[in-house]
Chain A
Amino acid sequence: MKKWLCSVVAIVMTVTLLSACGSGNKEEAGGSASSGSGKKQLNILMESVPDTDIVKKEIAKFTKETGIAVNIEAVNYSAMHEKLVPQLVNSSSSYDLIVVDNYWVGEFTSAGWLEPLDTFIQRDKFDTSVYLKSMFDMVGQVDGTTYMLPFYNYAMSLIYRKDVFEDADLKSKYQAEFGREMKIPDTLEEYVNISKFITKQKGDKMYGSVMMGLRPDPISVEWLNYLYSSGGDIYGKDGKPVINNESGIKALDLYIDNMNNAAPKGSAGFGFDEAFNVFAQGNAASFITYNWMLAKLNNESESKVAGKVDIASVPGGTSLNGGWGWAIPKNAEDKEASWKFLKWIESFDIAKDRALQGGSPTRKDVFADDDVLGQYQYYVKVQKVIDESRMIPIISEAPQLIEILGRELSEAVSGGKTSKDALDTVAKEVQDLK
């Protein structure tokens, strides 16, 4: 009986092993061979954010015009990479269209997962010059090939409480102590100084700034504003890491100083949401965050400080740019149909309509549109922020970069390492990535 069991196990194992080895190389025979606009339903994978909900509201129009149904599957940000990668690496994909975060761009294009759009663009004379340059360089083209159309932006900026920065009492005390006016700061040093001053004056009722020290994205993206605004960068012109030079260390020291002496206790563990809520409850005077947070902070169901907030460039001037782009997976079934939708959803009329519903624009003509500006006056400032912002380098290992950076920054903030040690480690580990 034992023999019998053994032989069964042996056979099954061989069979499974063989099929395991074979499965990798074989191209899938199935899949639809349809071409043209034969497809009746498009599947789109998107992130669960308000911009996606706005797109969902538009799709009925598309279906009415073309007869093609659109099924949008929205998953949350942290799950998207897990969800996408097995799909893209397979020989056919369940998705006809996807959205790509800027720091996956290098990875996705170098792995050859995205379909170049240039032939479609030239054939249909789709004008890509309407996009803000910094957006199109980030989630549009890579090395001269267009893989994506920019979907929405999330450049970072300084969001602050107007009432606190205009508070006469605080202003006069600041004048008395430092001999200069308290205003929206132009440099990071001044920003950290004001931030610490407010915390000292107001105790635990009001913090000068709220920060987010959670690994890996929140702390990395927040600190990159400090780095870029201090004149530092991750890689130098020759491609060698310069993150641990003087500007880098100064940026990290300022960051830690602000975290330890101005931000609320526990900021080292805050993600976007914890930090947002501290600000929304009226407990913080400033917050370096995505520009569209302003709209949320002006929404009374989410925020107690509605009407008291405004937006400015990050002190020092250069913030971190961010954005999502639309892309067609290389293994999509019917790329013609995917492009048809993409061309439509990014057309001026629809893009404007999305912007009017609160979507965050990427097209210059939408930013400049009277109706849009009438509704969102502060878009003038947002456009300036985006123009002057800088992105995370487009390299295929950008997710690793963020992971390493986040880990070391968190070490430095929680006292496990000095600023120099932490940044030296980053420099050493990211040197091989590029």
Chain B
Amino acid sequence: MSAKLQNKLLDGFTYAALVVCALIFLLPILWIIRTSFTTKVVAYQIPPQWFVRPTMDNYKAIFSDNPFGRYFLNSFGISLISTLIAVFIGAMAAFWIARRTAGGNFLRIAILGTQMLPPIVMVIPIFMVIKKLGLMDSWFSLIVTYLSFSLPYMIWLLIGFFETIPKDLDEACEMDGCTKMQAFTRVVLPLAAPGIMAAGILSFLMAWNEFLFALVLTGTGSRTLPVAIANMETQQGVMIAQLCAATVIIILPVIVLSLFIQKYLVNGMTMGSVK
């Protein structure tokens, strides 16, 4: 078999496998979207009614009964700000650790160690501090709390990425007379961009999905989407159709995220040329 044919076959296989894989992720999502336009009776009907007259009632309900617009804004703002802070200072700390020769293991494990306590136990002392400071139901309290887990993970993930970048590159820059900060921003950051993007997205998603702290630390003012969505499971049943509508809202940031991902991950290979 010629190498060219082999390549073609492999390509075919690759695409086929990826399509199957994409379907696994996609089908439940399509079903969510479909359910968001139905009533509860139709949602649970088996065999399913394939062609339903879509109703907008669920969307109307979540925006009129609940200020979902504001919850969305709260979630988005809090997640974005905490991520930006985490990326900014986390990247520097990670770089500093990655370029150290001594004590690296201890620092790594210590940073990770802060994340091993279940949040259930952390929430009580944090609640008491926030309450005492009079910061209940504020963006600030959630942003700071979210940094407590996004920052360590950020540092931890980025150490790994910075280590894959050969030391010679930034050392060479320092030899040429630039400061450590310049070596970091001009040489290392561009090279590690895919990793930073991945870690940033991760941090955003962790904040976006966080439920327990958001539940305990917010009132009606800074309530986030996960708390609002959890409220749709009531003692009188799950409002499944509205829940699906809310889920469609909660996946909207995908539009923004996919743009970033496209820029830094899809076109990733071109980065290697910074020399």
- Specify whether A and B are partners: yes
Asked if B233 contacts A76 (CB within 8 A), the reply is yes
The interface size of chain A toward B, counting residues with CB under 8 Å, comes to 40
Please judge, given known A-B contacts A83-B216, A86-B124, whether A276 and B233 are in contact too, CB under 8 Å.
no
Asked if A75 contacts B231 (CB within 8 A), the reply is yes
Q: How far is the CB of A305 from chain B (nearest CB, A)?
A: 10
Please judge, given known A-B contacts A281-B46, A301-B41, whether A272 and B232 are in contact too, CB under 8 Å.
no
Asked if A23 contacts B219 (CB within 8 A), the reply is no
Asked if B237 contacts A94 (CB within 8 A), the reply is no
Asked if B219 contacts A47 (CB within 8 A), the reply is no
A31-84 contacts to B, CB under 8 A, are 43, 47-50, 53, 71, 73-79, 82-83
Residues from chain B with a CB closer than 8 A to the CB of A79 are 215, 227, 230-231
Asked if B230 contacts A76 (CB within 8 A), the reply is yes
Residues from chain A with a CB closer than 8 A to the CB of B235 are 47, 49, 76-77, 154, 272
The interface size of chain B toward A, counting residues with CB under 8 Å, comes to 34
Asked if B219 contacts A302 (CB within 8 A), the reply is no
Q: How far is the CA of A154 from the CA of B132 in the complex (A)?
A: 37
Smallest Cβ-Cβ distance to A26: which chain B residue? B132
Judge if B140 is at the interface, Cβ distance under 8 Å. no
Q: How far is the CA of A300 from the CA of B42 in the complex (A)?
A: 11
Q: How far is the CA of A292 from the CA of B234 in the complex (A)?
A: 14
Bitwise, B235-247 to A at CB < 8 A (1) or not (0) is: 1111010000000
Judge if A304 is at the interface, Cβ distance under 8 Å. yes
Asked if A281 contacts B124 (CB within 8 A), the reply is no
Asked if A302 contacts B234 (CB within 8 A), the reply is no
Q: How far is the CB of A146 from chain B (nearest CB, A)?
A: 25
Q: How far is the CA of A78 from the CA of B231 in the complex (A)?
A: 9
Please judge, given known A-B contacts A75-B227, A76-B233, A292-B236, whether A94 and B215 are in contact too, CB under 8 Å.
no
A186-232 contacts to B, CB under 8 A, are none
Smallest Cβ-Cβ distance to A77: which chain B residue? B235
Could you name 15 residue pairs across A and B whose Cβ atoms are closer than 8 Å?
Answer: A47-B234, A48-B232, A75-B215, A75-B227, A75-B231, A79-B215, A86-B123, A86-B128, A86-B216, A90-B128, A280-B40, A280-B44, A302-B39, A302-B40, A302-B237
Binding site for B on A (CB under 8 A): 20, 23, 28, 30, 43, 47-50, 53, 71, 73-79, 82-83, 86, 90, 92, 94, 154, 272-273, 276-277, 280-281, 290, 292-293, 296, 300-304
Binding site for A on B (CB under 8 A): 39-41, 44-46, 65, 123-125, 127-129, 131-132, 134, 136-137, 212, 215-216, 219-220, 227, 230-238, 240
Beyond contacts A20-B125, A154-B235: 10 other A-B pairs, Cβ-Cβ < 8 A, are A48-B231, A49-B236, A92-B131, A94-B219, A273-B240, A281-B41, A281-B44, A281-B45, A296-B237, A303-B41
